[in-house]
């Protein structure tokens, strides 16, 4: 294929994308593929001779599309959303056409300077004070890793990269049980060791870290010769949307000189609506915050927004400047690759620019408010259904429930209900475990989701439970 063929196939791809999105409600949300099916359909050896693009496209439709779980389906209620707005998809198409590698300012000044401006637009949209600077990371996991590495370096007086951890006091990082496993992985990769990630018990309706217990633990660790380094707090934890008390957590952090990172990967998008900001009150006191516009805002995977009070702490931890990466003769520039673990960077900021301009913050706020309102209404409706138990109340647009028909083990019944719902295909839900119970998570967040889609979710859940009860 040559660039001269591109207009024909590019137009085909644009038409295909529009039709795909228009027809999503007719497809099962979760791929109904059996393990190994796609692999078996792919030839074991690569072709030596070029093949017509028509054949590749025919195979794409035949083999690939049925094996896709449709994250952009308006009735995708599983995990967290991974929203793709058409404006952001268009921007990514343009980026892909240019395919710049934006590791340094000079490798595409527009990408760097757009990133600076877009992160500041987002900062303002979230109501964060202007003391925060932003960088786009590929994922919340990467942002959390960067933050944990800063905690480590700061606690070790910036000596960990140079000399490693042997001979140092063991470091300690604190979090609740509700944080995402990306925190565990960051602790492993940073060499701090799982045993030094200390879980603080939670309390209250938002399953928040018990801050008194946090302080007691820090004090006990200091007495025992450990080196407390930082705290990872969560706002909108993955399982059930748990939220730590950020103000109280930061007060303890400040008292003991610890670095605080707030993981708001999912819930952060909702903070463009002032009325939800009480969930992270005190966040202006944090050192580092991550949230994923690629979850709920509409800039498809991947785009993770990482805000830090001190970019210097990040660059002191991560920057490395061999001659081949130096920019001579340009002052006052930012090389964002010095703010993150990977060197190479995609031009991600363009899709934020397209998104925010195409919908305005008001349009995005309305989408999020709708999701929250509709999910909360669904929880209330399900609460009235016999044998349905709401286990955790909605936090924004996420709640959990289980099915407790009499005479059956509730965990097994709930799992059977979930399997039957996902086999039906009209909606997609996933499970978690909380308070020792297996529960089904429901979150609304897909860009094109409507109130009718939420009503369909109610119908599917209740019809499926009734069928299973009669079986």
The answer to whether residues 155 and 171 touch, using CB atoms and an 8 Å cutoff, is yes
The answer to whether residues 409 and 10 touch, using CB atoms and an 8 Å cutoff, is no
Q: How far is the CB of 290 from ligand PLP (least distance, A)?
A: 8
- Of the two residues 141 and 400, which places its CB atom closer to ligand PLP in the complex? 141
Closest listed residue to residue 228, CA positions, set 201, 200, 253: 253
What is the token pair recorded at 13?
A: 């791809």
Quote the crossing angle between the two packed helices 109-126 and 349-383, to the nearest 10°: 30
- Of the two residues 160 and 239, which places its CB atom closer to ligand PLP in the complex? 239
Q: How far is the CB of 190 from ligand PLP (least distance, A)?
A: 16
What is the four-CA torsion angle of 90, 92, 95, 101, rounded to 10 degrees?
170
Q: How far is the CB of 263 from ligand PLP (least distance, A)?
A: 5
- Of the two residues 308 and 417, which places its CB atom closer to ligand PLP in the complex? 308
- Which residues bind to ligand PLP, rule: CB under 6 A? 80, 139-141, 180, 182, 234, 237-238, 263, 265-266, 292, 304
Bin 261: left if φ > 0, else alpha if -120 < ψ < 50, else beta: beta
- Of the two residues 155 and 395, which places its CB atom closer to ligand PLP in the complex? 395
- Of the two residues 318 and 413, which places its CB atom closer to ligand PLP in the complex? 318
Q: How far is the CB of 253 from ligand PLP (least distance, A)?
A: 19
Q: How far is the CB of 137 from ligand PLP (least distance, A)?
A: 8
What is the token pair recorded at 91?
A: 């921007």
- Of the two residues 228 and 241, which places its CB atom closer to ligand PLP in the complex? 241
HSE-up (13 A, CA, CB side) for residue 213? 12
Close Cβ partners of 413 (under 8 Å, ≥ 6 residues apart): 402, 403, 404, 405, 468
Q: How far is the CB of 141 from ligand PLP (least distance, A)?
A: 3
- Of the two residues 102 and 242, which places its CB atom closer to ligand PLP in the complex? 242
Q: How far is the CB of 119 from ligand PLP (least distance, A)?
A: 16
Q: Is 23 exposed, middle or buried, given 0-12, 13-18 or 19+ CB atoms closer than 10 A? A: exposed
Q: How far is the CB of 445 from ligand PLP (least distance, A)?
A: 11
- Of the two residues 138 and 416, which places its CB atom closer to ligand PLP in the complex? 138
């Amino acid at each position: 294929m040559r660039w001269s063929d591109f207009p024909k196939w590019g137009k085909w791809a644009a038409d295909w994308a529009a039709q795909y999105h228009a027809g999503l409600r007719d497809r099962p949300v979760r791929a109904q593929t059996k393990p190994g099916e796609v692999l078996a359909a792919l030839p074991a050896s690569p072709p030596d001779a070029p093949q017509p693009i028509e054949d590749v496209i025919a195979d794409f439709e035949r083999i690939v599309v049925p094996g896709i779980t449709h994250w952009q389906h308006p009735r995708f209620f599983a995990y967290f959303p991974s929203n793709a707005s058409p404006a952001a998809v268009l921007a990514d198409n343009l980026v892909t056409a240019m395919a710049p590698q934006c590791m340094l300012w000079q490798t595409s000044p527009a990408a760097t300077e757009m990133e600076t401006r877009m992160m500041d637009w987002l900062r303002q949209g979230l109501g964060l004070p202007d003391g925060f600077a932003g960088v786009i990371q590929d994922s919340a996991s990467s942002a959390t890793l960067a933050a944990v590495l800063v905690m480590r370096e700061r606690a070790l007086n910036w000596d960990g990269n140079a000399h490693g951890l042997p001979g140092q006091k063991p470091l300690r990082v604190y979090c609740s049980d509700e944080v995402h496993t990306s925190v565990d992985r960051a602790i492993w990769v940073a060499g701090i060791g799982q045993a030094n990630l200390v879980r603080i018990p939670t309390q209250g309706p938002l399953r928040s870290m018990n801050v008194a217990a946090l302080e007691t633990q820090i004090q006990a660790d200091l007495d025992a010769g450990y080196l407390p380094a930082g705290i990872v707090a969560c706002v909108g934890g993955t399982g059930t949307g748990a939220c730590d008390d950020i103000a109280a957590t930061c007060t303890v952090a400040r008292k003991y000189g610890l670095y605080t990172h707030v993981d708001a990967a999912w819930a952060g998008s909702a903070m463009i609506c002032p009325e939800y900001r009480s969930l992270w009150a005190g966040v202006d006191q944090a050192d580092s915050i991550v949230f994923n516009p690629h979850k709920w805002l509409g800039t498809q995977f991947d785009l993770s927004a990482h805000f830090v009070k001190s970019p210097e702490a990040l660059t002191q931890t991560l920057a490395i400047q061999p001659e081949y990466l130096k920019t001579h003769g340009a002052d006052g520039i930012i090389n964002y690759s010095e703010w993150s673990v990977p060197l190479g960077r995609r031009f991600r900021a363009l899709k934020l620019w397209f998104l925010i301009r195409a919908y305005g913050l008001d349009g995005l706020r309305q989408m999020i408010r709708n999701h929250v309102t509709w999910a909360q209404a669904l929880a209330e409706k399900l609460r009235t259904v016999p044998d349905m138990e709401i286990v955790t109340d909605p936090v924004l647009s996420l709640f959990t429930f289980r099915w407790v028909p009499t005479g059956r083990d509730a965990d097994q019944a709930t799992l059977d209900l979930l399997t039957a719902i996902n086999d039906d295909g009209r909606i997609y839900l996933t499970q978690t475990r909380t308070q020792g119970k297996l529960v089904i998570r429901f979150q609304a967040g897909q860009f094109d989701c409507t109130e009718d889609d939420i009503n369909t979710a109610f119908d599917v859940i209740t019809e499926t439970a009734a069928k299973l009860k009669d079986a």
